[in-house]
Amino acid sequence: MPKLLQEAAAVVTICSTVGIQALSYYKPVVVLGQAIYGGRGVTFDVDSLDQLPGKLEQAVAGQVDHQQIDRLLYTYIFDYLYHSDWHYPEYGSVEPVVDLLAKAP
């Protein structure tokens, strides 16, 4: 995947983690589905298939905002990922996850 992403002009995805990988390479990402990283100002979001050609054209011709992507990825890594070792779960270790889910819109 890294070689493909390095060479890609843009990436089209439905809601795959490949979209996040592509963002980490600062590639334009066209989102067809309801990806968690979509709709946050760093992707080209397609609401209907008739929009796809235009959005893809915009993505290939456009620039991505490196700072905005960095902020999004930082937030996902440090605020949303659950850091633990599943081999040695501790009692109460799921509380941060439950708290985060309870705050979700």
Q: Which is more confidently placed, 83 or 33?
A: 33
State if pTM tops 0.95. no
Give the residue extent of every domain in the chain.
2-103
| Per-residue pLDDT at 102 | 76
Residue 86 has pLDDT above 80, yes or no: no
Mean pLDDT of all residues belonging to the chain: 86
Predicted local confidence at residue 92, as pLDDT: 55
Question: To which H or E segment does residue 50 belong?
Answer: none
Is the model more confident about 18 or about 105? 18
- CA angle centred on 101, ends 44 and 78, rounded to 5°: 65
Q: What is the pLDDT of residue 15?
A: 82
When pLDDT is cut at 50, 70 and 90, the band that residue 91 belongs to is low
Query: What is the tens place of the pLDDT at every residue in 43-74?
Result: 999 999 999 999 999 999 988 999 999 999 98
